[in-house]
Amino acid sequence: MTKADRKKAIIVFAVLAGVFLLGSILTGGHGEKHETVQEMMQDAVMHELNKVSLFGIKDVNPGLIAAFVVSGILILFALICRLFVIPRFKLVPGKFQMLLETAVGLFDGMAKSNSHHLNKFLGAYIFTAGTYIFTGTIFELFGIQAITTNGHPISLPAPLADINGAIMMGCLSYLVIMSGGVAVNGIKGVGKALKDFSLPISMSFRMFGALLSGALVTELVYYYSALSYGLPIIVGVLFTLLHALIQAYVLTMLTSMFYGENAEKSEKKPKKKKAKDKTVIAEADQAASA
């Protein structure tokens, strides 16, 4: 590209941006907003106003619909990979093969390094959880629309920005941790896991809080059209990417660490012979005093 071409491209880009900005300012007052920012933010937390019908069976939070959509996308992706990509795997991997192998290897390695026992299941679980959290969080960037029961369009949020999704993930991770303990140590494993009874709550609400705050900030920014230029690149894309990575890493890391801790074989402590020891000490004292 020559200098002149580059200049032309910059001018066209600036003109287009200016036109869009002007258009948004001119049309700003006429856009229909069916809820105030307060209502919108309250609804993002409470899910009272905007419900989506689940095939006419039940009105559910948009997060659940988002969860089904994300799962559908992931399963389709996995199916395509299984049918067309994995059979063509080579000993020396290409770029896409490398990507898949890195993802699998990352979670498998994390499971192996944190738990010496039963890490095969743990690897599969944290792979799914990590992929789900990451993809689900990225998913909110696409702004896929759904129609609420009130007839208003709503962009689907991250599945785990829904409190029910976050509770499910936190509690399931806790059950997985507990299962590791039970599988290795039997009933003692339950006791070990019960020591960390606050874990499901902390895991659930950490995830819910992190994803919800991201969603709220993004919603807030998009609510005002004047803030919709430039700023979403940082608060929308970069923040979402960051917390997608961070949350996926945090939950999988915590799960694998606690799982490894619980799945550790407990060593039998030798019984202390207190009475015998006491007599030995007393005899030694007597001998010393004599």
Partner 1 sequence: MTGLPLNVDWQQILLHLFNFTILFGALYVLLYKPVKDFMDGREAHYAEMDSAAEKALADAESSKETYESKLKSFDAEIKAERSKAGEEIDEEKKRRLEAAKTEADKIISDAKAEAEAEKGKIIASAQKDITKLISEAMEKLAIGESDKDVFDKFLDAAEGEDK
Binding region for partner 1 (CB under 8 A): 45-48, 54, 58, 60-61, 64, 67-68, 71, 74-75, 78-79, 81-82, 86, 89, 91, 100-101, 104-105, 108, 123-125, 127-128, 131-132, 159, 162-165, 167-169, 171-172
Closest to partner 1 by CB, 139 vs 192, is 139
CA triple 13-217-33, angle to 5 deg: 80
Q: How many helices (H) and strands (E) does the chain have?
A: 11, 4
**Cα separation of 161 and 136, whole Å?**
9
Closest to partner 1 by CB, 59 vs 285, is 59
Closest to partner 1 by CB, 62 vs 236, is 62
Cβ at position 215, least distance to partner 1 in Å = 14
Chain centre to alpha carbon of residue 248: 4
Q: What are phi and psi of 54, to 5 degrees?
A: -95, 90
Cβ at position 66, least distance to partner 1 in Å = 10
126 near 107, Cβ under 8 Å?
A: yes
Cβ at position 60, least distance to partner 1 in Å = 6
Determine the longest span between alpha carbons in the chain, in angstroms: 107
Closest to partner 1 by CB, 24 vs 164, is 164
